[in-house]
Amino acid sequence: MVDVTPDVTIDLKGLSCPMPAIKIKKELKGMKSGQVLLAIGTDPGTKNDLPGICKKGGHELLGIDEEGGLFKYYIRKG
């Protein structure tokens, strides 16, 4: 479990690839450096895409929590 308080939370439930990744990138663009984004989704494929998205964008993937079919992605904007 990731122990961090997010600055912004987005709901990606019901969306499938590539929409979660697109929405995460769009949300991060509007955030300030150092802020934390919590993205909550149901598409397990996003888990595989996020490390590359974060690395390419200079962001830090703080962790992924999974419970009851929900994935919570914690990302610190770089």
Tell me if 3 is assigned to some domain: no
What pLDDT is stored for residue 38 in this prediction?
Answer: 97
By residue range, what is the domain housing residue 61?
8-76
End-to-end alpha carbon distance in the chain: 22
Q: What is the pLDDT of residue 2?
A: 79
Bridge partners of residue 15, in order along the sequence: none
Catalytic choice (2, 4, 17, 70): 17
Number of domains in the chain: 1
**Residue segments in the chain with a per-residue pLDDT below the cut of 70:** none
What pLDDT does residue 1 have?
73
Let me know if residue 2 belongs to a domain.
Answer: no
Say what the pLDDT of residue 73 is.
96
**Known active-site residue 54:** no
pLDDT value at position 41? Answer: 96
What CATH number does the domain containing 61 carry?
Answer: 3.30.110.40
Chain-centroid distance, C-alpha 9? 9
The secondary structure of 1-16, three-state, reads CCCCCCCEEEEECCCC
What's residue 35's pLDDT?
98
Q: How far is CA 3 from CA 14, 18, 23, 56, 72, in A?
A: 25, 27, 23, 24, 12
